[in-house]
Amino acid sequence: MIDRNVICDAIRGHNLARLYYSDAAPGDRIVEPYTLGLDKAHVLILNGWFRSGSNQSGEGPGFRDYLVEKISAFEVLDEHFGRPQAGYVPLAGKRFQTVLCDLSLR
């Protein structure tokens, strides 16, 4: 399992992350990580902006939720991102029951 602190460090530092995600289109993704939290079923989820890489939908960049249990590798990159993408909602709105870390928290 991926260390939550590593994900939170990437969020706090505004670092891009490379993650390997196992879903219908497994592979590497480059993501701007925004929020890590637990949903109402207590499932750990990373919310962020998908920049590039494999993806199930075949759509381009956009907001995505990643089940942390399906992330088998998480690398914090040296590259930073600035402001969050348009449509970012601090603390992921009401989607998460518990927010562990978020761009809006310092």
What's the pLDDT at 25?
Answer: 83
- Residue 15: strand pairing partners: 80
User: How much is the pTM?
Assistant: 0.94
What's the pLDDT at 94?
Answer: 85
Q: What is the pLDDT of residues 46-87, one digit of tens each?
A: 999 999 998 877 788 999 999 999 999 999 999 999 999 999
What's the pLDDT at 23?
Answer: 85
Q: What is the pLDDT of residues 77-92, one digit of tens each?
A: 999 999 999 999 999 8
- The class that CATH gives domain 4-102 is mainly beta
pLDDT of 43 strictly over 80: yes
